[in-house]
Amino acid sequence: MHPALWVSKTGLSAQDTNMSTISNNLANVNTTGFKRDRAVFQDLLYQINRQPGGMSTENSELPSGLQLGTGVRVVGTAKQFTQGNLQVTEQPLDMAVNGRGFFQVLLPDGEIAYTRDGQFQLNADGDVVNANGYPLEPNINVPENTTSITVGTDGTVSAVVENQAAPVQLGNVTLVNFVNPQGLMAVGNNLFRETNSSGAPQEGEPGIGGLGTIEQGMTESSNVEVVEELVNMITTQRAYEMNSKVVSTTDQMLQFLSQNVG
């Protein structure tokens, strides 16, 4: 069949993937702690139809060969871990990381997941949990009759309990960092899992060793740039249209051939 058909097909499917990435970014424009993805394109291998420098006859040589590209593909999506804007919510258990680092939450299967979404709440036992009910790791338990909770920028959590003059120290929120955060696996629910390419988590106190500080009463908004996404959407749509035009032109050529020869 006509090779241009397959080449344009790769173009169509790559633009399609790009569009899903863009629409996912846009869909998450208001998701706390969301980090946008960017599709990475790569041209596919080139086929050598005629070797440059080959002999066309005994006495003449081809000055330039024919190497035909076979299309394009999306090799990956790169998460962009740039800082999102910090929004003031004034909720005592909302925390934002200002700088690098992730919160740790304990999944029901016993594994640890990592998140930038710092909207924490209390469950019935007084444990600090995220929106899905997964407890913060290390666990912080807030006693009954607590009137106010304070989280320091270094992660120290203290509470003022009724009828007690001195605040009670409840524990520390720690953060972890990765050598290559782009290698983390996004598993949905604003959570990431460790992989071989992200490296092992390096736990530390917020504000020290390259980790960001914790800002109480704030959440980190998504780092999606709406204008950028919309511009990308337009270029993707046009690229898709043009590739589909090649498909239809090629198809008409084959149709013409089969109608007129044979």
Partner 1 sequence: MDKSIFIGMSGAKQTMLAQQAHANNLANVNTTGFKRDFAQARSMPVYGEHFPTRAYAMTERPGTDLSAGALMETGRGLDVAIGGEGWLTVQAETGEEVFTRSGSLSVDVNGLMRTATGEPVLGNGGPVALPPYDGLVIGQDGTVSIVPVGGPPDQLVQVDRLKLVNPPQDALMKGTDGFIRRKPDQAIDGAEPLDVNVRVESGFLEASNVNAVEEMISNLELARQYEMQVKVMQTAKSNSDATARLLQNLG
Q: Which is nearer to partner 1, 1 or 165 (CB)?
A: 1
Q: Are strands 191-193 and 185-188 parallel, antiparallel or unpaired?
A: antiparallel
- Strand stretches in the chain, DSSP E: 37-43, 46-50, 66-69, 72-79, 86-88, 95-98, 103-106, 112-115, 121-122, 128-129, 146-151, 156-161, 168-172, 175-177, 185-188, 191-193, 202-204, 213-216, 218-220
Q: Which is nearer to partner 1, 30 or 64 (CB)?
A: 64
Among 27, 131, 230, 257, binds partner 1 (CB under 8 A): 257
Q: Which is nearer to partner 1, 112 or 225 (CB)?
A: 225
Give the C-alpha distances (Å, rounded to integers) separating 17 from 74, 138, 254.
7, 38, 28
Q: Are strands 202-204 and 72-79 parallel, antiparallel or unpaired?
A: unpaired
From residue 168 to residue 197, the character string flagging contacts with partner 1 as x (rule: CB under 8 A) and all else as - is -----------xx-xx------------xx
Q: Which stretch binds partner 1 (CB under 8 A): 67-75, 103-111, 113-121, 185-193?
A: 67-75
**Whole-number minimum distance, CB 49 to partner 1, in Å?**
7
Q: Which is nearer to partner 1, 65 or 143 (CB)?
A: 65
Among 23, 55, 61, 78, binds partner 1 (CB under 8 A): 78
Distance CA 133, CA 144 (A): 19
Residue 46 within binding range of partner 1, rule CB under 8 A:
yes
- Strand stretches in 26-161, DSSP E: 37-43, 46-50, 66-69, 72-79, 86-88, 95-98, 103-106, 112-115, 121-122, 128-129, 146-151, 156-161
Q: Is 216 exposed, middle or buried (0-12, 13-18, 19+ CB in 10 A)?
A: buried
Residue 50 within binding range of partner 1, rule CB under 8 A:
yes
Residue 53 within binding range of partner 1, rule CB under 8 A:
yes
Q: Which is nearer to partner 1, 19 or 160 (CB)?
A: 19
Q: Which is nearer to partner 1, 111 or 241 (CB)?
A: 241
- Residues forming contacts to partner 1 in the complex (CB under 8 A) are 2-4, 7-8, 10-11, 14-15, 18, 38, 40-50, 52-53, 56-57, 62-72, 75-76, 78, 80, 82, 100, 179-180, 182-183, 196-199, 208-210, 235-236, 238-239, 242-243, 245-246, 249-250, 252-253, 256-257, 260-261
